[in-house]
A = this chain, B = another copy of it.
């Protein structure tokens, strides 16, 4: 069936959706509510028109500047540097950070041809130089690329009179030593905190 096959093929290109899930979703849409299908379809079609990147921090936003950059109740002396726009929401949702954000647009990855020029290090440097920021918290992923990127940031900001920190990596809360991988365990030991 052409129209069903096409829908299943399109759905299975979404992240985390395999062939079986795509079929299940397609059948749900066929037998489901027409108004819902219309809403979902239009939301998907128009999302790229509605969501932009904040001109200050680079996060996804409906307005410019974004709600974080324009919120005067946030601590404007802290700047959290992340790889992706979605990381901003993840950290904001944690409820333990009330500062500003800076989105790099990725991590340094020579294998994929992503060097410092493709990422927003220049505007990071400018934001720090413009003053007011006392601490830069590097929240790139605890991966080889994220760690390399963190080292690079430490390097380009070393002459600025600010504190630079890196989010901790180690065993997840509720995790079990027995099931921890070697790299996580090593990082957890190296990053031990003295009582």
Contact = CB atoms under 8 A, between A and B. Distances in A.
B48 A37 contact: yes
Interface of A: 1-4, 6-7, 10-11, 13-17, 21, 23-31, 34, 36-48, 50-51, 60-62, 67, 84-86, 89
Copies of this protein chain in the complex: 2
A47 B34 CA distance: 9
A42 to B, nearest CB: 6
A43 B3 contact: yes
Nearest to A8: B43
B30 A10 contact: no
B25 A14 contact: yes
A4 B34 contact: no
A86 to B, nearest CB: 5
Contacts of A2: 62
Contacts of A23: 86, 89
